[in-house]
Amino acid sequence: MSRELIIGGQQLDEPKNRGDQFVPAIVHWAGDKNRRPFPLSTFFSLYPSASSIHAVAEPNRLTVSYPNTTQEGTDIFTFALSNVPPSWT
């Protein structure tokens, strides 16, 4: 975690996927620092499709993998991107 960037990740090995509301990996930053009255908080997050996940947060880096490739869902990563500043589009 720093003033400019917040990164979080979890490592787990469970018997079944927790579903769409579980977010084991996320990155937050100020997408538009000059927006008023508050900066625009932009983020992307992982919506996992497998139940064994390694999401490791390091300074300026998020590494995500599905270590058990025999599980269903390990062939896809789904990320949601939110609060994208209009200047990016």
User: Which uninterrupted H or E stretch holds 53?
Assistant: strand 52-58
What mean pLDDT is predicted for residues 81-87? Answer: 89
Question: Residue 43 is part of which domain span?
Answer: 5-88
- Span 47-74, pLDDT tens digits: 999 999 999 999 999 999 999 999 999 9
- Checking if the pLDDT of 13 tops 90, the result is yes
First to last CA, the chain: 27
Sign of the Cα torsion 72, 12, 17, 8 reads negative
Q: What is the pTM for the complete model shown? A: 0.82
Q: Which two tokens stand for residue 8?
A: 């979080």
pLDDT recorded at residue 1: 63
In this prediction, what percent of the chain has a pLDDT beyond 70? 99
- Quote the number of domains for the chain: 1
